[in-house]
Structure 1
Amino acid sequence: MSKAVRYRRFGGLDVLELEEVPEPHPGKDEVRVRVTAAGLNPMDWQIAAQPEMAARFGITLPAGFGSDFAGVVDEAGAEASGFTVGDRVYGGAIGRSVADFVLVKTPATTLWHTPDGISGEVASTLPVAGLTASAALAAIGVQAGDTVLIGGAAGGVGIFAVQLAKLTGARVLGTASERTFEFLRELGAEPVAYGPGLPDRVRALAPEGITAATDLFGRETAGTALELGVAPERISTVADGPALPGVRATGAFDAKPGALERITDAIRSGELTVPIAATYPVEQIREAVAMQAGRHVHGKIVVAL
């Protein structure tokens, strides 16, 4: 037997259970990953709480939990390709990553080799957040000379978006609560408090104006950018909700090929860091999700298996 976090009804933290499940083994074209770490994302608890969101990802009850993982290939089917036993890997498996084992069909589009010099803990935070940040910036063509406003800059996606935008040579303004200001400055962003009056605070910080914006949480940043005269095609959003006319809605699935490789190269070179806010043992999955869902996390939450 093996362990996996599962839920049998939709709801809050109380639906999550660490259960014993039969140990899976790969089919002829699959590999099995022994998971050592699983990075959490807001979408994980949203899927567990919202049947309509679960349906969008093809998840039905009873269901597993989590999206991102890292570990080591420990079994491979006779016709599996691209990976062999002993390979360090990381990847995405929506609705089943917080478990001792994950099966992945090959050839794989959601499994990558973990580069030397990158820990499994860090690798487990990359797929959803890294791809989402990359897609959000690519959608609006952030480049050197831009002044870009990033909404939700201190969150799990925001930490990647801020640093990736800085690597292009752009000036970065990031919305956050005041208690995260120093954290954002360390990442290279100029912090600005979210909430009523945001357009005036942005004007004061960048009187020459902003040229692009990405809203990683809600619609406040996108609306502010429109009010400040940013062209809609230079504004992106990643959160669910009513679309704003002309604004580019995007997400991880829109990321360009090679996006994660560029991120891991930047991590290895020291140009990009991945702040880990906390690591919890899988037995404390409810506490880990509670911290993630609190929306006041400075960085990523990881579950250790």
Structure 2
Amino acid sequence: MVGGMKRVSFAEFGGPDVLQLVDAEEPHAGPGQVRIAVRAAGVNPVDWRIREGQILGAHPVELPSGVGLDASGVVDEVGEGVEGVEVGDHVFGEGSSTYAEFAVLSAWARMPGGLTFEEAAGYPSVVETALRIIREVGVQPGQTLLVSGASGGVGSAVLQIARERGITVFGTAGAANQDYLRSLGAVATTYGEGWVERVRRLGHVDAALDLAGSGVIRELVELTEDPRKVVSIADLDAPEFGVRFSGVAGSVPEALAEAAGLISRGKLHIPVEKSYTLAEAAAAHIDSQAGHTRGRRVVVI
């Protein structure tokens, strides 16, 4: 088949088993877009939420659908009206159907020097989300931020960005990830029985972020004493407590530019915990849904 490629696709909503590796037509860069030969694609919780049909309001899906929003790779087509990037450039960014050999990006930045394609693919959505929720929760330098479920990709970014801004971070994670949180500058404690008291002993909480959706919104409101000082990216019931659920991306190009700056200055590093092949996409989703990630998961082409 001419102009063909491999991509991960699903023809119906459901569990990881609906993901299939199929032959597909190559996409092409439209106006304001670039196409890349994908080297790696980031695995995000939003990927399996879309696959399950959970968030069709924010992410309408036409079946059969590709999978993936984040990727890194080599530019091989530049769309109309696009400036400042050319064929052969190494970029990372956001687009659609990125678990594939070729993908179209609608927002991108040049990869900072010293970053591998695998590492770069782990940043786009994660850093955009981290920057957005720190802004939305309104936490200021000198204040304290509690991050519930802090060891995954978004948590890793939030901890480092907050530290860079002079914000004190308390992070909760499993016992195995306590040292990891401390290495990112957080005051760490475990979740589970008695966690609210453990946090209280650490000090006053000015603002809180729920990254894990483990049913802790009521307690976070208790700790901050103000539902407006809590933001969740994982608990769809958050609004019942007067808490903002943040699911819509802001300016991705701006976030990517800021991420590139932080990475270049050595202020932000998110490790890749595990890599998968395109054929292992279902396994990547199973692992992502199980949680307890330290850093990022990526699909490598």
Please give the TM-score of this superposition, normalised by the length of structure 2: 0.90
Deviations 1:241-285 (A, max 9, x none): 121444333245136873332222121111221111011122222
Contact 2:208 2:224 in 1 (8 A): no
The one of 280, 285, 289 aligned to 1:293: 289
Equivalent-residue separation in structure 2 for 1:187 and 1:29 (angstroms): 36
Deviations 1:61-105 (A, max 9, x none): 1010111111111123465444321121122124x111111124x
Contact 1:142 1:168 in 2 (8 A): no
Contact 1:40 1:303 in 2 (8 A): yes
Equivalent-residue separation in structure 2 for 1:221 and 1:157 (angstroms): 17
Equivalent-residue separation in structure 2 for 1:132 and 1:27 (angstroms): 26
Equivalent-residue separation in structure 1 for 2:31 and 2:245 (angstroms): 38
Q: CA deviation at 1:199?
A: 1.6
How many residues are treated as equivalent by the alignment?
297
Which residue in 1 is equivalent to 2:113? Answer: 116
Q: Which runs of 5+ in 1 are unaligned?
A: none
The one of 207, 211, 228 aligned to 1:233: 228
Equivalent-residue separation in structure 1 for 2:244 and 2:16 (angstroms): 33
Which residue in 2 is equivalent to 1:12? Answer: 15
Contact 2:274 2:296 in 1 (8 A): yes
The Cα RMSD (Å) is 2.2
Which residue in 1 is equivalent to 2:219? Answer: 224
Q: Which runs of 5+ in 2 are unaligned?
A: none
Q: Which runs of 4+ in 1 moved over 6 A?
A: none
- 5 Å-filtered alignment, 1:1-305, equals 1-27=4-30, 30-50=33-53, 52-54=54-56, 56-77=58-79, 80-94=82-96, 96-104=97-105, 108=106, 110-206=107-203, 209-218=204-213, 220-242=215-237, 243-251=239-247, 253-254=249-250, 258-305=254-301
Deviations 1:29-84 (A, max 9, x none): 6432111000100110111112x424531212101011111111112346544432
Counterpart AA for 2:34 = V
Equivalent-residue separation in structure 2 for 1:205 and 1:31 (angstroms): 47
Please give the TM-score of this superposition, normalised by the length of structure 1: 0.89
Equivalent-residue separation in structure 2 for 1:219 and 1:244 (angstroms): 15
- Flag the 1:72–1:256 CA change in 2: closer, same or farther, 3 A: closer
